[in-house]
Amino acid sequence: MKTVAILSQKGGVGKTTLATCLAVASEADGKKTAIFDLDPQATASFWLDVRNKETPAVISIQSIRLSHMIKAAKDAETDLVIIDGAAVARDIAYEAAKAADYVLIPTKTAVFDTMSMLNTIEAVRQVGKPFSVIFTFVPPLGYEIDDAKETIKHLNADICPVTIGNRKAFFRAQSEGKAVQEFDPAGKAAEEINNLYMYMCIKLYDSKEK
């Protein structure tokens, strides 16, 4: 079993959107997948409430129970667990990173978002886990992404080559309890998620084989 944590101590950067979309992509790839929702706002859990399917499983838990639930997932022969972290709480980010095989750190390109991202990187590095920074809500035009990339390069941090655009399809899909690739399979947003899933698999399995 593999575990991916999606972490940011800044709210509103798309953690739950990525968690739910990647979980659906994983299930479409034949993997038994679960989302552990550590966010007190339980957004991923609400997403499942309006979804017309029972999978992927979404379990709302406190971080203190994380190790126990990961063991339970292994016993249930789960293939992939995706941890949807909580904003602000450094202790939750630390515990989630410790439990993960790989960490995705989403951030917007605005300067205050990238500054907040530095705290998350520090927490992940404390436990020595591999991670990538992924840019979300990326506007179609602007120099901000180049500035953000330059900041991250100075930190010797891996930058995901896939970016997630600021697209209405993500919000519309979530409101229906869907992943964007279910809502608009041929759309640009679905393409971005599929590419991100492939990149995540490379990082998780150290090869192009899923």
- Within a domain: residue 136? yes
- What mean pLDDT is predicted for residues 5-13? 89
C-beta of residue 105 within 8 angstroms of C-beta of residue 124: yes
Bond before 56 cis per omega within 30 degrees: yes
Domain containing residue 63: 2-205
Question: Which residues, in sequence order, are bridge partners of residue 36?
Answer: 59, 83
- Within a domain: residue 17? yes
Q: Is residue 207 predicted with pLDDT exceeding 80?
A: no
More confident position, 63 or 144: 63
The tally of domains found in the chain comes to 1
Q: Is residue 66 predicted with pLDDT exceeding 90?
A: yes
Per the structure block, which two tokens stand in for 81?
A: 């667990």
Closest CA to 188 of 142, 138, 145: 138
- Within a domain: residue 210? no
Using left for φ > 0, alpha for ψ between -120 and 50, and beta otherwise, residue 137 falls in left
> CA–CA separation, 36 vs 96, rounded Å?
10
Helix ranges (H only) for the chain are: 15-28, 43-49, 66-75, 90-99, 111-126, 144-153, 168-175, 180-183, 188-205
CATH number at 77 reads 3.40.50.300
- Within a domain: residue 155? yes
Per the structure block, which two tokens stand in for 23?
A: 């979980």
Condensed to tens digits (0 to 9), the pLDDT of residues 98-138 reads 999 999 999 988 766 777 788 889 889 999 999 999 999 99
- Whole-structure pTM value: 0.92
Q: What pLDDT was estimated at residue 123?
A: 87
